[in-house]
Amino acid sequence: MADIVDIAVGAGAFKTLVTAVQVAGLVDALKSPGPFTVFAPNDDAFAKLPPETITTLVQNPPQLARILTYHVVAGKYKQADLENLDQLTSLEGSPISIDCSDGFEVKNATVIAPDIEADNGIIHVIDTVILMSPKSQNSFDKAEI
């Protein structure tokens, strides 16, 4: 079985995410043993963001890394494991709300493909890039994110 990064590269629907992970310098971390749970926005999810937001993030790798680590949780959580939880703490340090009461949602995103197994964790494909709440963004300008 492949690791999280290799699965994302091979799937073909995560070109923007893979590029962002490379720019942010997170490839080695996501290839490490983990385990991790990744809420992975597909290319369509990134396409929903304004073009200037993508440009701002690519030009600011620390901010990009912070947003990407908000999509990752330590540990391996399948959908069934999350059904009795209302939140997880991301590697970035902020809480991510989980709602499995009517479908499977993570913060403002719908999980469109759950439980993709990887050597070092699990991937849940989401339809929207999730962002930290404004109070946890510190000095980041909300308009840029």
Across the beta sheet with 109-118, what order do the strands follow?
A: 72-74, 36-41, 121-126, 109-118, 105-106, 95-99, 87-89
**pTM for the model:** 0.89
Question: Any idea where the domains of the chain sit in the sequence?
Answer: 4-135
Residue range 108-114: average pLDDT?
Answer: 96
Instruction: Report pLDDT for 34.
Output: 92
Alpha carbons 95 and 36: distance in angstroms, whole number: 15
pLDDT tens track for 29-83: 999 999 999 999 999 999 999 988 888 888 999 999 999 999 999 999 999 999 9
pLDDT tens track for 92-101: 999 999 999 9
Instruction: Report pLDDT for 87.
Output: 96
| 4-135 maps to CATH 3.40.47.10 | no
Which residue, 3, 33, 34, 36, is CA-closest to 18?
3
Rg of the chain's alpha carbons, rounded to an integer?
14
